[in-house]
Structure 1
Amino acid sequence: MKSPESERVDEPADSDVDLSVPARRAVRAHGQFAVVAVVALGGALGATARYGASLWWPSPPGGFGWVTLGINVAGCAAIGVFMVLISDVWTAHRLVRPLVGTGVLGGFTTFSTYAVEAQQLVQTGQAGLSLAYLATTPLAALAAVWAAATATRAVTRRARRGRQA
């Protein structure tokens, strides 16, 4: 008897795609390559921008990661704006979201560096500061996404009303 997991192996990721048709499999494979390519390109651009910011405003070793916090908050705010624009305002090409959202902004934000910096604070005897950093970063990042998305929705709503009047 097959397990439920083994029965689902051949299921398409998109239920609208019939993978039993060879031409559909080829289109899906080509489409996946394009998504992976734009995510990689966007990630390289975002990581390069983050690296540039860390060179411009270096954090002292063992100190509070202000630059990393700022990068993560700014990146999350940008994600909030971007997601409203491509979800509520524009009909974006299918590769825009993976390029900008997952790639550029995912590469720009750096929660792995945040974790390393928190660990370094503990290693230098600053456990309290580390806990503050560990709590502040996700709270500020979530607040930035929410505030940016809320503000973007309000601005685009007013702009639409202005055009209708």
Structure 2
Amino acid sequence: MLTAVAAGGVVGAEVRWLLGLVGPPAPWTTLIINVTGCLLMGMLMVLVTERFSAHPLVRPALGVGVLGGYTTFSTYAVDVAAPAFGSPGSLALMVGTPVLAVAATALGASLTRALAGGGAR
């Protein structure tokens, strides 16, 4: 299981790093990554817990590994605390990121339930 999580973490972290190279400047890339990662996590959890009989390694490899490596709370904390972002925008980012992340998780789960229908389990 640790190998699956580690391999997934490498993939997720590499995607995050690449998006940091091509995306908007900090802190916006971090916000986008965290919100999209939460959206995907909501989708994944519905698929592997409600819709399909997934292999036991799918959830840790994709959830903890790929999406855990993709999202980043520590970079969010640095972006919020950095002096360059010590402005009203920093407060909005500090409050908005967790709100948007939780909303994205719920949206991902709801959309997946709606699109996947009754699903086979």
TM range (shorter): over 0.9
Where does the alignment leave 5 or more consecutive residues of structure 1 unmatched? 1-34, 161-165
Classify the secondary structure of the residue corresponding to 2:25.
Answer: coil
The answer on 1:114 being equivalent to 2:114 is no
- Supply the distance in 2 between the matched residues of 1:125 and 1:44 (Cα, whole angstroms): 29
CA gap of 1:110–1:125, structure 2 versus 1, over 3 A, is closer
Where does the alignment leave 5 or more consecutive residues of structure 2 unmatched? none
- Supply the distance in 2 between the matched residues of 1:73 and 1:146 (Cα, whole angstroms): 11
Classify the secondary structure of the residue corresponding to 1:124.
Answer: helix
CA gap of 1:74–1:125, structure 2 versus 1, over 3 A, is closer
Aligned length: 120
Larger Cα-atom Rg: 1
TM-score (norm 2): 0.92
Root mean square deviation, CA, Å = 1.6
Q: Counting helix residues as a fraction of each chain, which structure ranks higher?
A: 2
Identity %, equivalent residues: 44
Matched residue, 1:71: 33
Matched residue, 1:156: 116
Matched residue, 1:133: 93
Structure 1 counterpart of 2:39, one-letter code: A
Matched residue, 1:45: 11
Matched residue, 1:57: 23
Structure 2 counterpart of 1:139, one-letter code: V
Once the two structures are TM-superposed, the CA of residue 66 in structure 1 deviates from its matched residue by 1.1
Matched residue, 2:48: 86
CA gap of 1:88–1:128, structure 2 versus 1, over 3 A, is same
